[in-house]
Amino acid sequence: MKVVETIDEVRACVAEARAAGKVVGLVATMGALHAGHVSLVNAARASSGLVVVSIFVNPTQFGPTEDFSRYPRTPQADIETCRRNGADVVFMPGVETIYGPGGKTEVRVRDLGETLCGRSRPGHFAGVCTVVGKLFNIVAPDRAFFGAKDYQQATIIRRMTADLNFPVEIVVCPTVREADGLAMSSRNAYLTPSERQQATALYESLCLAEWMIRQAHPPADEVIAAMRAHLTSRSGGAAVDYVQIVDPDTLQDVQSTSDPVLLALAVRFGQTRLIDNMRVG
């Protein structure tokens, strides 16, 4: 396994693999790798001749009051995780390498980035799309692997990839959960023991909503009210950012639950904001 920091180095690795006829898979991460990331590396390993894992805490997707400075950074542990799980190249660029001096270009996907997390995190998805677009240009993968926990992000990246004609297949892998249902996230490390226990309410509320929809397909407002009531009763002083039921493709709010829907929510436990979702139907 090679650990590289420059664009020329990672491109040289990819060029060598392509000359050997290998398929290139990319797993784009911000580090602090956990079992969810490992599942993406495993999926890439199963269908790619060269697996590139990028580790870059992207400053442009953090708002001015968000947690960029304290976002968990565990580079040596991440390198070892990649080594154990069959990555071929770990690309660890600095901010200057990715953005250069005075970069002024950003990529923005309209509509899809303005609902759900986009309402409370303006500019977030422009930062995501810009860095992923840059990684696609730098690495030129055949396939890129993302997790379903970040459903909105994956949907936006798929749209950007189609709109900008990137020759990249977007592969979305299932959410990996702890034994009690909490979706794995690098931010889980922020939770205090009591917050960690409260956070199980996220998955519980999704399961409650799924049960309600499968039983009787009630209006979305009724399901959302039940989800909010469960979150309030189980999560103490946690602050609900949003609970929405949306069309899985357009991410726009819906009222009918007879057709396939996406249940999505974001809740803040202390200083830690967690998201989760479930597709039903």
Q: What is the CATH number of the domain that holds 129?
A: 3.40.50.620
Q: Is residue 63 part of a domain?
A: yes
Q: pTM (2 decimals)?
A: 0.96
Three-state DSSP class for 190? helix
Q: Consecutive 10-residue runs of the chain (281 residues): their mean pLDDT? A: 98 98 98 98 98 98 93 97 98 97 93 96 97 98 98 98 98 98 97 96 98 98 98 89 98 98 97 97 92
Q: What is the pLDDT of residue 235?
A: 84
- Choosing from 144, 173, 202, the residue where a domain stops is 173
Residues 26 and 118 in one domain: yes
Q: Which residue among the candidates 34, 37, 124, 217 is catalytic per the annotation?
A: 37
Q: What is the pLDDT of residue 34?
A: 97
Q: What is the pLDDT of residue 237?
A: 76
Domain residue limits at 70: 2-173
37 an active-site residue?
Answer: yes
Q: What is the pLDDT of residue 40?
A: 98
Q: Determine the residue type at 178.
A: E
Residues 77 and 136 in one domain: yes
Q: Is residue 145 part of a domain?
A: yes
Residues 68 and 131 in one domain: yes
Residues 218 and 169 in one domain: no
> How many distinct structural domains can be found in the chain?
2
8, two tokens: 């020329």
Residues 160 and 203 in one domain: no
Cβ burial, residue 8 (10 Å; 0-12/13-18/19+): exposed
Q: What is the pLDDT of residue 102?
A: 85
What are the contacts of 156-162 at 24+ separation with CB within 8 A? 156/109, 156/112, 156/113, 156/125, 156/128, 156/129, 157/128, 157/129, 157/132, 159/109, 159/112, 160/107, 160/109, 160/129, 160/132, 160/133, 161/136
Residues 104 and 210 in one domain: no
Q: 79 and 90 in contact (C-beta within 8 Å)?
A: yes
Cβ burial, residue 94 (10 Å; 0-12/13-18/19+): exposed
Number of Cβ atoms within 10 Å of the Cβ of 17: 19
Q: Is residue 151 part of a domain?
A: yes
Q: What is the pLDDT of residue 23?
A: 98
What totals of helices (H) and strands (E) does the chain contain, helices first? 10, 9
